[in-house]
Amino acid sequence: MPKSSILDQDPSAGPDSQINSEPVESFADILSQYEQTSSHAGEERRGFNGTVVAVTAESVLVDIGFKTEGILPLADFTKAGETVKRGDKIPVSIKGRDPEGYYELSRMKVERPRDWSALEKAFADKAPIAGVVTAVVKGGLSVDVGVRAFMPASRSGAREAADVEKLVGQEIRCRIIKLDTADEDVVVDRRAVLEDEEREAKEKRYSQVKEGETVTGTVRSLTDFGAFVDIGGVDALLHVADISWGRVNKPADVLKPGQEVEAKVLKVDAAKRRIAIGLKQLQPHPWDLVGEKYKVGDRVQGTVTRLAEFGAFVELEKGVEGLIHLSEMSWSKKVRKPADAVKAGEQVEVAVLGVNQAERRISLGLKQVLGDPWAEVPRKFPVDSQVEGIVTSLQKFGAFVELAEGVEGMVHVGDISAEKRINHPQEVLKVGQTVKALVLEADVAKRRLRLGMKQLVPTGLDEYIAEHKAGDVVTGRMTDVSGGRARVELGEGVPATCRIQSDPAGGAQSEPANDKTDLSSLTSMLEAKWKKGGASAGATRDEAPRSGQIRSFRIVKLDAALKRIEVELA
């Protein structure tokens, strides 16, 4: 006996209902009669080919052989990664009419089975079939696929309960996963078909995307290393390094889910299903104008982005970084690491020291904008001036003393003490100690200052100067007479200079001393006469000055700071 469809049954018929004595018609016969006698309203569910007649910004108009065209959303093609143009033939089905009278179409590429044999074949081939969702039932949905079928909610492809209800009235593609002809039990699965379609669309999209082209996509998710962007059914990776020419710490700082972006396709690996895109590649490279914008000697503002052992990187603008080398951070030798001078995120003013546009390198200097402290050394620390500073380091050959920010002098080990011999500065000095010294030599070009500490220790000369004044008459011994000047020893370690007028008869004579007078004996001999300012000893006023003479002198000038004494013959 032929099987009958649930469509053949009258739900209102009871046990006492009159039964037609004529043979029961088959499902195929009933469906055939229905198709032959139905109007266009009955034909609206059938699948057939239509012809594209127009493409607008949002819709595709299709000629389906009726007086009124059908309409499809353009988004259906875009999401599938397909293009459509006038004249294309496409399979469609009619879902209904919109308020403007156009037929609402769906792109159904399969038809509903017309009999049980077609259902059995679709089940055996695992082929997709078309159906219409008719109602929400317990546990799922009722679907008309020629017979009444059940679709579990979990296999509907809808993620939310509200989305399940929205399927009612929609034409869907599904697959038969259970078929019992005896009990007319049919179960269908839409989710599997959607997954297959999505997989096919992705495969097609991977083959369509070309390196170098510009695509539009939507940010789907963010990670620490980048963002995943949907570019028409497939995800592409936007790495954090390709978001901007400037440094981006986190993608979330500049992007957010749902944001639409335009990007350039950098690489496509269809086999591994990987697509890499970049945003910054659509923008001009900032280094193209670096040569024009930054000149050597310019002072510019920047932000310290990161620190390395050898220096600090400074962002001058997005995509343009320069390096402050460790040696260019301070005039002082104190900077051992970049963190001693700058911090990440700090705003700094720097000087442009060099620009290499080809290699994309800019050399920057921090100390240059602070001024060279050595330029003030001749004025602030002249030779023979007394200075004070802090011992910064000790070496075997001497000690380094900081006199000002960026200015250090060196006290040689032999100039530390006059009282004893020192083998290493650490015997009498320590780092951080404040000391006083005398500037012995200054070389600004070589940035060198030689200092002496022992030179500040009081000597016989200091005592002599302290005990005398200009105009005092003292006794001394001439040690060298030449060129109108004579060197005079007023005592041990007490030198003086004397200007001598030339003698018209023969001039001053310069004779080497015939005897090597012991200075200690001289000191004893002259000791009493220094303080008395007595008469000359060993020579008369009329004798010509010569080396070795002991004579009386008048003090003309005493300079305690420079430790100088000038005298004249008395």
Q: Would you state the pLDDT for residue 186? A: 92
CA gap 304, 306 in Å, rounded: 6
399-435 per-position pLDDT tens digit:
999 998 888 999 999 999 877 888 999 999 999 999 9
Q: Would you state the pLDDT for residue 283? A: 85
Q: Would you state the pLDDT for residue 393? A: 92
332-388 per-position pLDDT tens digit:
667 788 988 899 999 999 999 999 988 889 999 998 888 788 888 999 999 989 999
Q: Would you state the pLDDT for residue 197? A: 82
pLDDT(4) > 80: no
Tell me the two tokens of residue 357: 């546009």
DSSP label at residue 241? G
Q: Would you state the pLDDT for residue 524? A: 53
Residue keyed to tokens 């959607």: 194
Q: Would you state the pLDDT for residue 14? A: 37
Q: Which whole number is the average pLDDT over 19-35?
A: 38
Q: Measuring CA to CA, how many Å separate 303 from each of 42, 138, 342?
A: 72, 64, 10
pLDDT class of 397 with cuts at 50, 70, 90: very high
CA gap 92, 333 in Å, rounded: 81
Q: Would you state the pLDDT for residue 546? A: 87
Of the listed ranges 10-19, 488-497, 520-529, the least confidently predicted one is 10-19
CA gap 127, 144 in Å, rounded: 17
Do 294 and 300 touch, CB atoms closer than 8 A? yes
DSSP label at residue 159? S
> How many CA atoms, within 13 angstroms, populate the side-chain half-sphere of residue 248?
21
Q: Measuring CA to CA, how many Å separate 340 from each of 363, 403, 549?
A: 19, 20, 64
Kindly compute the dihedral angle of the four CA atoms of residues 436, 439, 443, 447, in this order, to the nearest 10 degrees: 0
pLDDT class of 260 with cuts at 50, 70, 90: very high
DSSP label at residue 537? S
Q: Please report the beta strands in 309-368, taking only residues with DSSP state E, as ranges in sequence order.
A: 311-317, 320-325, 347-356, 361-365
Q: Which whole number is the average pLDDT over 155-181?
A: 88
Of the listed ranges 53-57, 60-64, 391-395, 503-507, the least confidently predicted one is 503-507
Domains and CATH numbers, the chain: 44-106 (2.40.50.140), 209-282 (2.40.50.140), 286-368 (2.40.50.140), 373-456 (2.40.50.140), 463-569 (2.40.50.140)
Q: How many CB atoms lie within 10 A of CB 243?
A: 22
Q: Which whole number is the average pLDDT over 493-519?
A: 60
Residue keyed to tokens 């043979």: 23
CA gap 466, 561 in Å, rounded: 11
Q: Which whole number is the average pLDDT over 301-321?
A: 91
Contacts of 530 (CB under 8 A, 6+ apart): 474, 475, 490, 491
323-354 per-residue burial string, b: 16 or more CB within 10 A, e: under 16:
bbbbebbbbbeebeebeebbeeeeebebbbbe
Tell me the two tokens of residue 268: 């496509």
Query: Of 329, 325, 328, which is closest to residue 308 (Cα–Cα)?
Result: 325
Its pTM surpasses 0.95: no
DSSP per-residue letters across 468-536: --TT-EEEEEEEEEETTEEEEEEETTEEEEEE-PPPTTT-------SS---HHHHHHHHHHHHHHT---
Tell how far CA 534 is from the center of its chain.
Answer: 84
> How many CA atoms, within 13 angstroms, populate the side-chain half-sphere of residue 139?
5
Indicate the average pLDDT of the chain: 81
Of the listed ranges 46-50, 185-189, 292-296, 533-537, the least confidently predicted one is 533-537
Q: Measuring CA to CA, how many Å separate 470 from each of 285, 410, 566, 567?
A: 78, 36, 9, 9
Q: Would you state the pLDDT for residue 502? A: 61
Give 402: exposed, middle or buried? Use CB within 10 Å, 0-12, 13-18, 19+: middle
> Strand 70-73 to strand 103-106: parallel, antiparallel, or no bridges (unpaired)?
parallel
Kindly compute the dihedral angle of the four CA atoms of residues 116, 118, 123, 124, in this order, to the nearest 10 degrees: 110
> Strand 448-452 to strand 407-412: parallel, antiparallel, or no bridges (unpaired)?
parallel
Give 169: exposed, middle or buried? Use CB within 10 Å, 0-12, 13-18, 19+: exposed
% of the chain surpassing 90 pLDDT: 38
Query: Of 360, 366, 355, which is closest to residue 311 (Cα–Cα)?
Result: 366
CA gap 42, 44 in Å, rounded: 6
Q: Would you state the pLDDT for residue 539? A: 66
CA geometry: angle 439, 441, 446, nearest 5 deg:
120
pLDDT class of 533 with cuts at 50, 70, 90: very low
